[in-house]
Structure 1
C-alpha cells in the first residue's frame, strides 16, 4: 500500500513525543512492505527535495520555517506556510491513503480537497484535544478560530487514530466526532536489548521532554532541592531552558543537576537505564511517550494527577510507577519513598 503522511515535524530533526510515535509507526509500516512517504518541510541539510531514510521517503513540500516563537508557542506563520504548501498534494505522487498529523491543523483544508478529488481515504492522527478556554489562553482573540480548525480537521477525516482513551473521549464529546470513526491506537517504542551487565545507576531522577511551561520541570527542581543527596538529569530543549538553568543555580543544585540535549534514541536509552526514576510533572500529555520509553527500559515513572494528563493511563500507582499531586513537597515525598 502507498501510504502518504502529512506532518510538519519529523525525527531526527525534532525530538518529541509525537515525532517519536510517528517515526515508530512509519518504520513498522515500511518493514511490512508498505511504501511510506512523509510530506513535510525541508528539514534535512541535503539540497534534494526528496530523500530516503530507514525505508521511508521524506518529501519536502515547503522550505523549513521556525516552528515555535520565542515564547514557546506554535508559529502562526509556519502553520500558514505548511497549509498553503499542502496544496501540492493535488499533484504529488499517487497514494492509497493519506494520514494527516493533527498539528498545526491548517493542512487539513488541502488534504480534504486532495482526498476528495483523488477519491482516497483521509485519516488523522490525534494526540490531544484543546477546549475553547485553552484555545483562548493560547491564541487570545484568535482562540475560537483555532478551536474551529481543530474541529474541522477531526470531523472531516474518515478515520481518526487517537493515541489515548482520554483523547478519544474528547474527540467525541468535545468535537462531535462520530465514535465509530475514532480508534484508540496505542503507540509502541523500539528499545535495544538491555546490556549485560546492567549499567550502574548514577542518576536518581531523570526528565525527558521539551522544556515548556506545562511540563513543570521547575516542580522537579524544587523537589530535588528538598532532597539533599538526590541527583537529577534534564534531557531536552525548549524556551524554558534558560529559566530552568537559572532556577537550578538559585536552588543550589548546580553540582547535582545536569542539563543535556537529546542526541538520539540509543543515547537516550542509555541515560534512562542509568537512572533510578523518570519524573514527568507534566500536566498536559496526549499519551506520554517518555513514560513508555522509561518503562521499556525497566525504569519506573512518576507522573502527576491532572485531568489533561493521559500519561496516567500508563501508570499503576505503587506497581509500575508513582502518582503525585503537582506540588514540590508531594513530588519530593514520593521520590523519597
Structure 2
C-alpha cells in the first residue's frame, strides 16, 4: 500500500544484519525499513563498517546502507555524514542500543526513537567499572532529556514499562512487535535423543553458561549452541570443566536453512539471556512447533512467550533445570506447548509490523521540529 506522502527516512543503527555482531534488533530495523520502501518511502540506513561489507550498497529490498566508522565512532560519523554527506531526510529513526546517537542535538528534522530494551543489567556485564556506569548514565539520564520531545517505538510491553520508569511519557511510546518470516522447507523428524538448542550471539550477557550448567543435571540430553561471538572460547572451556563437552556442539554461524532444520529437530529451545527486547528466536522456534524456556527477569520474553501455554519462564537456575527436565520427559506437555507456540507465531508478520511502524513514521514526521536546547 503506497504511503500518502513519500518521505526520506534515515535510520541510525550501530550494526546491520551482515555485521558479525548483528542480532534480532538489526533484523527488526531492516525488515521495517524494507516495509517502508514497499510503501513508497526512500530509506537509508547508516551503521558501522565491518570487514567484507561495502561502504555503500543498496539491498535487494531497496534500502540503501552506508557503513561508516566502527562501533566506537559510528555515532560521530552519523553526525558528520548528516552535516556533510548531502543527507537531508524528512525523519531520522534513532535506534538506541544502549548508546544513543542523540540526533535531536544536530538534526534539522524530527526524530523517532527505537529502543528494543533497556540495558540496566547489561552495562556492568559488558563494560565493568566506570565505563558501564557512564553507559548507563548516557542511556538513563542523558538520552531521556535529549529525546524528551520525540516519539518512541519499542517491541514489548516490558520495555515500554522500563522506558516509563526512565521518565518517558507513556503517551509517546508505541509498541510495534516483531514479525517473523514464514518458515520454508520440509518438516524434519525430532532427534531420537533429548536435544536442546541455544541460538544467538556468543557474548556474556546471553548467558549460555546457564544452558551448559543445566546440561550437567540432564545426563541423557545433548545441547547445540548455534551462533558466533568472542565469548565462545570461554564457553568451550566451561563445557570441558563441567564435563559436558562431549554432549555439546558449537556450530558457529549457520545458514537460515540450517537454523530452521535445527529448530525443527530439537526438542526444546533455550533462551538464557540476561535481557531481551523480544526474543525473535522464540517465534522462529514456535514456527517449528518447538517450545522455548527463558528467564522471567529477561524483559521482553514475557511478551514472546505465553507462560505455561506456548513456552515456560523460569525464575532462577534451579527452576530453569526443573522446567527443562519436565519438558524433555513429558512428551504430551511438550507437544501441547509446541502446537500452541506454532499457532501463536502465526499471529506475527512483518507486513503488520511495517504497517504499524509506517503509521508512527507519518505521525512523527508531521510533528513540528523543535530543536533541543
Tell me the TM-score normalized by structure 1.
0.83
Match of 1:192 in 2: 183
Match of 2:255 in 1: 264
What are the superposed Cα offsets for residues 130-163 of structure 1, whole Å, 9 maximum, x if unpaired? Answer: 44x8656745334554334224334433211111
Q: Does 1:163 align with 2:155?
A: yes
Distance 1:297 1:106 in 2: 36
Q: Does 1:152 align with 2:145?
A: no
Match of 1:211 in 2: 202
Distance 2:302 2:316 in 1: 13
Structure 1 position 123, deviation (Å): 0.7
Structure 1 residues 214 and 326: alpha-carbon distance in aligned structure 2, compared to 1, 3 A threshold: farther
User: Which deviates further from its counterpart, 198-207 or 246-255?
Assistant: 246-255
Which residue of the other structure, out of 86, 93, 97, is the alignment partner of 2:87? 93
Name the SS for the 2:267 alignment partner: strand
Match of 2:46 in 1: 39
Runs of 5+ unmatched residues, structure 1: 68-77
Distance 1:274 1:154 in 2: 44
Q: Is the 8 A contact 2:215 2:221 kept in 1?
A: yes
**CA-atom RMSD in angstroms:** 2.4
Name the SS for the 1:255 alignment partner: helix
Which residue of the other structure, out of 134, 141, 163, is the alignment partner of 2:130? 141
Name the SS for the 2:48 alignment partner: strand
Q: Does 1:22 align with 2:22?
A: no
Which residue of the other structure, out of 301, 306, 320, is the alignment partner of 1:331? 320
Distance 1:205 1:316 in 2: 20
Q: Does 1:8 align with 2:14?
A: yes
Distance 2:234 2:163 in 1: 35
Structure 1 residues 163 and 257: alpha-carbon distance in aligned structure 2, compared to 1, 3 A threshold: same
Structure 1 position 311, deviation (Å): 0.6
Q: Aligned runs of 1:273-288 on 2, under 5 Å?
A: 273-288=264-279
Structure whose residues are more often strand by fraction = 1
Match of 2:3 in 1: none
Name the SS for the 2:114 alignment partner: strand
Structure 1 position 5, deviation (Å): 0.3
Runs of 5+ unmatched residues, structure 2: 1-6, 327-373
Q: Is the 8 A contact 2:122 2:275 kept in 1?
A: no
Structure 1 position 298, deviation (Å): 2.4
Match of 2:301 in 1: 311
Q: Is the 8 A contact 2:122 2:205 kept in 1?
A: no
Distance 1:169 1:261 in 2: 35
Structure 1 residues 142 and 323: alpha-carbon distance in aligned structure 2, compared to 1, 3 A threshold: closer
Q: Aligned runs of 1:176-255 on 2, under 5 Å?
A: 176-193=167-184, 195=186, 198-202=187-191, 204-255=195-246
Aligned residue pairs, count: 310
Q: Is the 8 A contact 2:216 2:242 kept in 1?
A: yes
Structure 1 position 234, deviation (Å): 0.3
Q: Does 1:122 align with 2:111?
A: yes
Structure 1 position 221, deviation (Å): 1.4
Distance 2:100 2:310 in 1: 39
Q: Is the 8 A contact 1:191 1:269 kept in 2?
A: no
Tell me the TM-score normalized by structure 2.
0.76
